Amino acid sequence: MNGKSIIANFSLILILAFAVEGLDAATGGEVYIASLEKLAQASLPESSPLPPPPEAVQLPMESPQPELKRIFPLDQMPNPVPPFPGQTDFNQEPKPDFKTFQPGLFDEEMERKFDEARKNQMAAQARSDIARLMRETNRLKKAFRGNALFDELLAKINGIKDIVNNPASEIDAIEEAMSETKDLWQELGSFQTIAEAQRVIKEYASVSKRLKKVIEAKATITMSEKIGLNLETARQKVLELDSRLNSLSSSQLDPEDAREIIESIREENPRDIEQTIYRMREVYNYMRRLRNANQKSSAEQTIKQAAEAFNGGDFHETLETIGAFFRNLQPQKTSAKQ
């Protein structure tokens, strides 16, 4: 092949290429895509065509629902069952209550069992109360032996005990017994107050006797003259104590008034007066033995403060002042021994 033939063939290829490119641009690439599809079909082996899709299955139509008919007209609907006792809602689970039980709501057998359970519960509660009453009265038997009122109280308790322990007792009888038990507790409280008053009289009568002896002792009178201690304050407290003890011994005293007197005696605690006098005598004797001027001055200052509190009737403050003084002396005693 000569050079002219090569140039001619090359020119033809270029013309065809430009023609295809222009056609492809005009058709939006359809010529190019068709050429690719043709080449792909020519390269793939022949295959059988795909089977057609199966026909759609027709489901049967639902049968129509039967029309509901109203059995009762709206104005003839039956009334609902009333709620059980203790119910506030028809959907709430029934909870029968002993106090709100309605006879006739259940059959006779259920009512009988209900009454029996109620009676057993009340009898158990009454037996528990009676047992506690018996324990308290047993503690007071010695103090009130031969007392007609106390014997009457014991008879009442035993009578109620027989009722609640008898299986044949009716519910009404047990209810009445429980009500009487509350009154018996009040009667027993009066006897407890009297017994407490007797113990207080016995205890503080001995305190009053010791106080009088301590106040009139020669050492106490000498000390009071030296440091300006007013013993009349202590004597007045003893007289008040004796007056209260005499009031407690009265058989006409109301139990409530007796409780107030007992509380007032224990709050003031007359033992503080006795202890205060002994502690002041201890400080006074210690001051007399001192030779150091500074220590003696400190003791005299303590005695003065304690006497002022004592004369004002504040015996607790007197004890606090003396206690602080002796606590401060502990380091001095230790250093003196070393």
Name the one residue in this structure whose structure tokens are 């021994």.
337
Q: What tens digit of pLDDT does each residue of 204-232 get?
A: 999 999 999 999 999 999 999 988 889 99
Q: Which tokens is 265 given?
A: 């005696």
Q: Is the pLDDT of residue 65 over 50?
A: yes
pLDDT for res 336? 41
Q: Hey, what amino acid is at 26?
A: A
- The domain containing residue 241 runs over which residues? 216-337
pLDDT value of position 118: 80
In-domain check, residue 14: no
Which pLDDT value is given to residue 76?
Answer: 52
Mean pLDDT of the chain: 75
**266 and 320 fall within a common domain:** yes
Do 183 and 291 share a domain, yes or no?
A: no
Q: How many Cα atoms within 13 Å fall on the side-chain side of residue 20?
A: 10
For residue range 73-123, what is the model confidence (pLDDT) as tens digits?
545 545 454 444 445 555 555 555 544 555 555 567 787 777 778 878 888
Weakest mean pLDDT among 36-40, 246-250, 271-275: 36-40
- Answer whether residue 269 is part of any domain: yes
Q: How many domains are contained in the chain?
A: 2
Do 223 and 280 have their domain in common?
yes
Q: Where are the alpha helices (DSSP H) in the chain?
A: 3-27, 30-43, 108-140, 148-165, 171-215, 218-227, 231-248, 255-268, 271-289, 293-311, 315-337
Rounded Cα distance between 234 and 212, Å, is: 9
Q: What is the pLDDT of residue 240?
A: 92
What number of other Cβ atoms are within 10 A of residue 223's Cβ?
A: 22
Question: Are residues 178 and 135 located together in one domain of the fold?
Answer: yes
**244 domain-assigned:** yes
